[in-house]
Structure 1
Amino acid sequence: MNRHWHDLHSPAARANLYLRAASKRKVSGDRLPDDGLRCFIRVQQDNLGAYRRLCHFPDDGRLPATYPHVMAFTLQLQLMTADDFPFPLLGLVHLHNRIEVLRPLGAIEGLRFAVHAHNLQPHAKGGTFDLVTEAEDGIGLLWRETSRMLVRGLKLDGEASERADDEPETLPEATRWYADSDIGRRYAKVCGDYNPIHLSAASARLFGFPTAIAHGMWSKAMALAALRGHLPHSGYAFEVDFRKPVRLPSEVVLSASEAVPVGELRLDGHGGVLHMLGRWAPL
């Protein structure tokens, strides 16, 4: 595919993008646009410090592996609220997230991001597509993220692929944490993701959730921070499948393999609720 790239001086104002997102409630097509967005984005040190504190990352001179996702979030929002993007942003479900750290994320003042969507596929509950975000420095590509998003109710030709429901065997507990009732608002303030399902019980109920739920990328970041001793500085992939949402407030338990080059993790709640499965491996 010959992708048509739009080079931006800066992403659009986030408030305007949320207004666009709120105004679109229906699917308008079944083809993803060929366009992609590119933009250089600087690291905001105050925001980086707030993110480290929120997700329990140390200040070790490197960007947390999940932080480029935060830097690129507005650019992703702009792509998915464009006139030619066929799916409403509100209602998309984040099923899977894979981050690849190709080179160390140290001594970085800014990154050039490229964002596009592709790989539209049928799913038992609608259709899925992959939102791909890549980050380059002056040498070349050093970070990549693939987020698989579910469009509920979308009708596509073809058979839906079966999801493997295999779960890892019992893993030793690594840590546990309490997700308090305002973590969604605190994450939104730092990372810009003001999806109503995360902000309060009242706003979450408008979208069918009995309580507010934690951001999936906050849960992933907390797991990555807790397991950072298991991982090298670069040359690895860290991916998770999001299962049942973490209802706020609640306690969750992170279990993981011992420190080996390849490992597995799971995030569980009380009552046998599985929130997240994950794995890491060298590239």
Structure 2
Amino acid sequence: MDRHWHDLHRTQGLSGLYLKAARKRSITGDSLPASGLHCAIGVNPQRLQAYRKLCHFGDDSHLPPTFPHVMAFALQLQLLTADDFPFPLLGLVHLNNRIRVVRPLGGIGTLRFSVFVDNLQPHAKGATFDLMTEAEDSLGLLWHERSRMLCRGVKLEGEPPAVDTPEPLPLGELTRWYADSDIGRRYAKVCGDYNPIHLSALSARLFGFPQAIAHGMWSKAMALAALRGHLPLSGYEVDVAFHKPVRLPSEVVLEGSAVAPDGQFRLVGHGDLVHMTGSWHTLHESSRPA
């Protein structure tokens, strides 16, 4: 696909983007736009420090592997609320998230981000697409993210693609934490993600949830902070699938396999309810994005 890029000097304000998202409630098409956004975004030291504390990352010279997602969040929203994007932002479901750390995330002041959508596929409940985010420094690609999103109600021809299930590895408890009732509001304050399903029981009920639920990317960040002894400094990817949401408040347990170049983990709650499954893999040169 020949992609048309829009170069931005800055991202739009979140309040305006949320107002735009609230106005769009219907599906307006069944194909993705062939456009993307470029923007240079600087690291905010105060936000970074608050994020480290919120997600239990250590205070070192490298960005947490999930922090570029936070940096690019407004740019992603700007793409998903653009007039040529066919699906309403409210109601999209985050099914899967894969992050690749291509080179060490150290000594960073500003990154050049690229965001676009790709890979529209039929799904049993509608259609999925991939929200792609890439971060570069002066030497080239540094970090890459694919967020697979579900839009219910989209009608596409064809069958959903088959999903490969890896052979499970033995898992043991690594840590556990308590997701308190206000973690959604605290995450939103730091990261800007004010989806109503995360903020309170009252706002979550408007979207069919009996309680507020934790942000999936907070759960992933907490898991990666706990797995830092399992992961190299760079040259790896972490892929997670989000299953049952973490209702607030609740306690969750992180289970993981042994330290190795490749491994698996999962986040479980009361009654062995599975909230998230994931894996990490060492990147070989042939598997790194060009």
TM norm structure 2: 0.96
| Aligned counterpart, 1:279 | 279
Amino acid at match of 2:105: L
Distance 1:279 1:90 in 2: 28
Asked if structure 1 preserves the Cα contact closer than 8 Å seen for 2:132 and 2:145, the reply is yes
Distance 1:241 1:44 in 2: 29
Distance 1:86 1:153 in 2: 12
How many residue pairs get aligned? The number is: 283
Question: Per-residue deviation at 1:165?
Answer: 5.9
Question: Per-residue deviation at 1:168?
Answer: 2.8
Change (3 A) 1:42 1:65: same
Distance 2:15 2:252 in 1: 32
| Aligned counterpart, 2:57 | 57
| Aligned counterpart, 2:116 | 116
Asked if structure 1 preserves the Cα contact closer than 8 Å seen for 2:256 and 2:266, the reply is yes
Distance 1:201 1:167 in 2: 37
Distance 1:184 1:162 in 2: 33
Question: Per-residue deviation at 1:258?
Answer: 1.1
Q: Secondary structure at the match of 2:229?
A: helix
**Matching of residues 158-169 of structure 1 within 5 Å:** 158-164=158-164, 168-169=168-169
| Aligned counterpart, 2:288 | none
Distance 1:266 1:183 in 2: 20
Distance 1:126 1:109 in 2: 40
TM norm structure 1: 0.98
Deviations 1:208-234 (A, max 9, x none): 000000000000000000000101100
Asked if structure 1 preserves the Cα contact closer than 8 Å seen for 2:96 and 2:241, the reply is yes
Q: Secondary structure at the match of 1:228?
A: coil
Amino acid at match of 2:225: A
| Aligned counterpart, 1:47 | 47
Deviations 1:63-100 (A, max 9, x none): 00000000000000000000110000000000000000
Pairing 1:225–2:209 present: no
| Aligned counterpart, 1:214 | 214
Identity %: 70
| Aligned counterpart, 1:239 | 239
Amino acid at match of 2:114: A
Pairing 1:148–2:148 present: yes
Change (3 A) 1:11 1:174: same
**Matching of residues 82-121 of structure 1 within 5 Å:** 82-121=82-121
Distance 1:89 1:246 in 2: 21
Distance 2:212 2:74 in 1: 22
Q: Secondary structure at the match of 2:279?
A: strand
Question: Per-residue deviation at 1:166?
Answer: 6.3
| Aligned counterpart, 2:68 | 68
Pairing 1:180–2:185 present: no
Distance 2:143 2:47 in 1: 20
Runs of 4+ in 1 over 3 A off after TM superposition: 162-167
Change (3 A) 1:272 1:190: same
Question: Per-residue deviation at 1:167?
Answer: 7.4
Question: Per-residue deviation at 1:271?
Answer: 1.3
Deviations 1:169-193 (A, max 9, x none): 5510000000000000000000000
Distance 1:169 1:57 in 2: 26
Amino acid at match of 2:203: S
Aligned alpha-carbon RMSD (Å): 1.0
| Aligned counterpart, 1:196 | 196
Amino acid at match of 2:92: L
Q: Secondary structure at the match of 2:72?
A: helix
Asked if structure 1 preserves the Cα contact closer than 8 Å seen for 2:169 and 2:257, the reply is no
Deviations 1:44-69 (A, max 9, x none): 00000000000000111000000000
Amino acid at match of 1:221: A
